[in-house]
């Protein structure tokens, strides 16, 4: 398998169907600079268009201090307004590509996830976090506001009132608080974080990949509409699976009391 050509990420297969994607600028707390914006856009686009072998992605950060510190403010220092807008357009495209990625993406937050780093975790399908991880949407302290989807994804995760408090105050919060509020699915000991994330990723990867992708589409579409319309979308997604080889294999394997061998067809 030929990975996309990226310089600020490390990409590593775990088993046959799981990809570990690591934000790899530890000297800058894995902050998102322009090159990382290009690399993230390339990764999510590749997963959407070219890669059918990958069934789950674990996104984490290099080192033990940070998952991602947000936008690289050293690179942004002194940027012209026009350069800032051009860079942010790139970041916007990368965030949307992550949100629309058909492959499940889980964040393994191993340290600080501030600003765009927190928004990156929020854009993933779900989040495991180290007990030592810290989160914040800190943009109002910088004279800006969340611009990576945070005003939309945080309220969906923790509710509007909690999101307003966190965004307006820009105060950091702990992994335990994030779990209590619904942003984080599981808090892990630091040394166990990646192993637990990979265990769940492997479980997902063993399931029928077309079924998982259709379920993801249905959940995401349903959140943006009313229940009946969402249910109609679910049935459309369901019916696309009826004629697949994996549906036949799943039922046959159940009756033969063996693990299914799904092929994504």
Res 1: pLDDT: 75
- Predicted TM-score of the model (pTM): 0.94
CA nearest neighbour of 189 among 201, 176, 177, 200? 176
**Non-local CB neighbours of 85 within 8 Å, separated by 6+ positions:** none
Residue spans of the domains in the chain: they are 9-205, 207-255
State how beta strands 134-136 and 173-174 pair.
antiparallel
Please list the alpha-helical segments (H only) found in the chain.
34-49, 73-76, 81-99, 116-123, 150-158, 160-169, 175-181, 193-206, 209-222, 227-242, 245-255
Hey, is 68 helix, strand or coil?
A: strand
User: Would you put residue 170 in left (φ > 0), alpha (ψ -120 to 50) or beta?
Assistant: left
Q: Which residues are catalytic?
A: 119, 139
Can you list the residues of the chain whose pLDDT is less than 50? none
Looking at domain 207-255, its CATH class is mainly alpha
Please state which CATH number belongs to domain 9-205: 3.90.226.10
Separation of alpha carbons 255 and 150, rounded Å:
46
d(CA 263, CA 74): 46
């Amino acid at each position: 398998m030929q990975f996309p050509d990226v310089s600020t990420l490390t990409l590593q297969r775990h088993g046959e169907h799981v990809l570990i994607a690591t934000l790899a600028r530890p000297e800058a707390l894995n902050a998102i600079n322009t090159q990382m914006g290009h690399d993230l856009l390339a990764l999510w686009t590749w997963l959407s268009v070219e890669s059918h072998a990958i069934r789950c992605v674990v996104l984490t950060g290099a080192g033990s201090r940070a998952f991602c510190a947000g936008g690289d403010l050293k690179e942004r220092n002194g940027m012209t307004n026009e350069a800032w807008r051009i860079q942010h357009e790139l970041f916007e495209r990368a965030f949307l590509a992550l949100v629309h990625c058909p492959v499940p993406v889980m964040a393994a937050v191993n340290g600080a996830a501030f600003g765009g780093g927190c928004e990156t975790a929020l854009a993933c399908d779900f989040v495991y976090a180290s007990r030592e991880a810290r989160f914040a949407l800190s943009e109002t302290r910088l004279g800006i506001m969340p611009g990576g989807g945070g005003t939309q994804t945080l309220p969906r995760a923790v509710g509007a009132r909690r999101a307003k408090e966190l965004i307006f105050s820009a105060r950091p919060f702990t992994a335990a608080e994030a779990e209590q509020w619904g942003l984080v699915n599981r808090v892990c000991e630091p040394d166990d974080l990646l192993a637990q994330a990979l265990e769940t990723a492997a479980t997902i990867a063993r399931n029928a990949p077309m079924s998982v992708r259709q379920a993801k589409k249905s959940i995401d579409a349903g959140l943006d509409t009313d229940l009946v319309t969402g249910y109609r979308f679910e049935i459309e997604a369901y019916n696309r699976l009826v004629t697949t080889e994996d549906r036949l294999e799943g039922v046959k394997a159940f009756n033969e009391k063996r693990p299914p061998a799904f092929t994504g067809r």
